Amino acid sequence: GYREEGNMSKGSFVSSILLKELKDMWMKRLKFLFVCLFFFSVKALPVYLQKTEGKTLVFTKVRVFDGKQILDANTVVVQNGKILSIGKDLKAPENAQIIDGNGYTLLPGFIDSHTHVFGSALKDALIFGVTTELDMFMDVRQMAQIKNQQKQGGTMDQADLFSAGTLVTAPGGHGTEYGLKIPTITSPDQAQDFVDARIAEGSDYIKIVYDDGQAYGLNFPTIDKATLKAVIKAAHKRNKLAVVHIGSYQGARDAIEAGADGLAHLFTDRPPDADFGKFVAQHGAFVIPTLTVLQSVLGIKTGAPLLEDSELLPYISLNNRGNLKRAILQNPKPETYQKVVVATIKQLKEAGVTILAGTDAPNPGTAHGVSLHRELELLVQAGLSPQEALAAATSLPAEKFHLQDRGRIAPGLRADLVLVEGDPTVDIKATRNIRGVWKSGVPVDRESYRKTIANEIAKIEKLRKAPPPTGSSSGWVSHFDGGNLKSYFGSGWMISTDAIMGGKSLAEMKVVKGGATGTSHSLLITGEIKSGLSFAWAGAMFYPGPQPMQPANLSSKKTIQFWTRGDGKTYRIMLFAQSLGMMPAIQTFVAGKSWKKYSFDLKQFNGIDGHDITGVLFCGGPRPGKFSFQIDEVKFE
Ligand SMILES: [Zn+2]
């Protein structure tokens, strides 16, 4: 039989399903009670009404994945932004727009359960079928602004946002390194006030950081276990979920023990004990493993394969392309990923723990929207069935985060829909063959988004025909031997620091006596990296274009070379190019006691070919502290 329900309470088929679900739910609740010895019920998150066009849509001859399984149905009718009915060969209402879904699969719009929203994030997400993002820490002013737009129904061109707002962390702890000024917490007695302040700001759930960084060879302050416990209790007192960011295996166990509703991330420091899966299951917690970002932390360039997919690439902005080529830490450790992360997923799955798909975009190696398709692939590679992976990005996050109006294709729910060619329940990569995205029944204009990117690329391609900068034929930038900052081409040298991003780092540059290879002068760059910003920098930047940050065509050159010496610290050379978007490509070098020559292929900078270089930065950071190094004989060759 098929389902054609106008009302969830009608029909014996529906009732029996409901009964079973109720029973399962009670069993889970009882278990939960048993373990936690207290009961709290989470309030449903707000339902945003969308302004929608009155158009009726009918998807015909289509395979329907409802968020849990493929239905025995081939027609979905959408009216006033909601699913009206689902069934087999349903008759289309008059004046309906028919969408032939032959060979295609219709899915609920995807939900990414771990992101950080700023800039174009929600727009980028929607293009790739992610109709809802669960943010895990963002600027609360921006959060308020977006939620206000949502209340007015004015966000048809971007994914919906639910957010933790400001996260809960210790002074100087993880979360304070991004340049946002945020309040922090030091003891359990502050917990309720702290949580209440977050809820007053509009947090939909509470995100807590319990991580000292040591699992990654870093070291930063974190809240203690008593504070963690108190914050979770405070969140539950207000019927809010508490999601805990962890970095280590022990951290994960502590968080579960303290009553976390969900874990953000898994650990990479050691394989779990044999009982870990059961332990999480017994406590009724869900896990958002964020496999993409765990790969990035383990030095795997997890985003790069997405750029080789011709279905995806035309829709990936230049900024996102640059970010997808990166990894958080260097030194790839694929064995650790298999032995620790994949082994943990296997345990969690066997124990019946709910796993949710989250990308942690826009961390290095990820981008909003597109990376969810990578996360789905990684979940399947780690042992989930394609159906389970799809549920992890649709029905399950809706269930766990109490989003009542979405996550399923079911009568009465929002028509947030993705139409893909092929069958992703057989081949998960079919989610990438997107043929349409609808938000509340309104089609998303993917085509103009694609055209904007294509135009941007065409403009940069045109730069290939530009003549090389006057004075650049020898390749010399500067040798400083006139005792000054003279450069042979471009608009010269300037100080660049993280002050433009809210940092406080300082730098100075001075031409000094004594250069490399017995020459008379060199450039001394000194300064101090201040505060714990993850991206902190300060140094000297050379601009090869006629104005700072204008592109110069240096495609006739293959390398950039320079000599350096200094205090023994590691420094960075960053190349900026229009094709890289806003983010530079980075290489590191050590400035030791005696002069040493470095030569980098331009290709080493994310594969650039030099036709659109806008800046070359020599800088210290991101580690805090004073620094001092010299450079000399700077040359493109
Ligand atoms: Zn995150």
For 456-473, write each residue's pLDDT tens digit: 999 999 999 999 999 999
Q: What is the 3-state secondary structure (H, E, C) of 576-606?
A: EEHHHCCCCEEEEEECCCCCEEEEEEHHHCC
Residue 271 CA, ligand 1 centroid: distance in Å: 22
Report for 426-440, 456-470, 520-534: range of highest mean pLDDT: 426-440
C-alpha 490 – ligand 1 centre gap (Å): 40
Compute, in angstroms, the gap from residue 136 CA to the centroid of ligand 1: 6
pLDDT of residue 32: 39
The token pair that represents 338 in the structure block:
């298999």
Instruction: Please check the confidence at residue 17 and state whether its pLDDT lies above 80.
Output: no
Residue owning tokens 């496999």: 291
CB contact at 8 A, 190 and 233 = no
Q: Is the confidence at residue 339, as pLDDT, over 60?
A: yes
Q: What does the pLDDT average to over 242-267?
A: 98
C-alpha of residue 116 to centroid of ligand 1, in Å: 6
- Give residue 314's identity as a one-letter amino acid code: P
Q: Indicate the class that CATH gives domain 40-453.
A: alpha beta
Give residue 11's pLDDT: 31
pLDDT at 623: 87
How far does residue 256's CA lie from ligand 1's centre (Å)? 18
Q: Ligand 1 mean position to 117 CA, how many Å?
A: 10
What homologous superfamily is domain 476-636 in, according to CATH?
Galactose-binding domain-like (2.60.120.260)
The more confidently predicted of residues 82 and 8 is 82
> What's the average model confidence in pLDDT over 97-111?
97
Q: How far, in Å, from the CA of 466 to the mean position of ligand 1?
A: 41
- What's the CA-to-centroid distance between 360 and ligand 1, angstroms? 5
CA of 363 to the centre of ligand 1 (A): 8
In the reported structure, the alpha carbon of residue 55 is separated from the centroid of ligand 1 by a whole-number distance in angstroms of: 38
Distance 451 CA to ligand 1 centre (A): 30
Residues with Cβ within 8 Å of residue 392, at least 6 apart in sequence? 355, 356, 357, 376, 379, 384
Ligand 1 midpoint to CA 526 (Å): 33
Residues of the chain with CATH 3.20.20.140: 40-453
pLDDT value for 455 = 96
Please, which residues have CB less than 5 A from ligand 1, an ion? 136, 360
- The residue length of the chain stands at 637
How much is the pLDDT for 33?
Answer: 39
Instruction: Specify the pLDDT at position 256.
Output: 98
* Per-residue model confidence (pLDDT) at position 31: 41
Return the structure tokens found at 113. Answer: 């359960």
Q: How confident is the model at residue 4 (pLDDT cuts 50, 70, 90)?
A: very low
Instruction: Using a pLDDT cut of 70, give the percent of the chain over it.
Output: 92
DSSP 5-24: -SSTT-SHHHHHHHHHHHHH
Per-residue pLDDT tens for 176-203? 988 788 999 999 999 999 999 999 999 9
- Residue 29, pLDDT score: 43
**Which pLDDT band holds residue 52 (cuts at 50, 70, 90)?**
low
What does the pLDDT average to over 215-222? 88
Q: What is the pLDDT of residues 309-330, one digit of tens each?
A: 999 999 999 999 989 998 988 8
CA of 174 to the centre of ligand 1 (A): 10
Within 13 Å and on the Cβ side, how many CA atoms surround 166?
A: 22
Q: For residues 56 and 536, give the distance between their C-alpha atoms in angstroms, rounded to a whole number.
A: 52
Q: How remote is the CA of residue 449 from the centroid of ligand 1, in Å?
A: 26
Q: How far is the CA of 280 from the centre of ligand 1 (A)?
A: 21
- Cβ-proximal residues to 242 (8 Å cutoff; 6+ apart), any chain: 205, 206, 208, 231, 232, 235, 236, 259, 260, 261, 262
Token pair 């004073």: residue: 626
- Ligand 1 center–CA 368 separation, angstroms: 12
Model confidence at 49, in pLDDT bands (50, 70, 90)? low
- 104 CA from centroid of ligand 1 (Å): 33
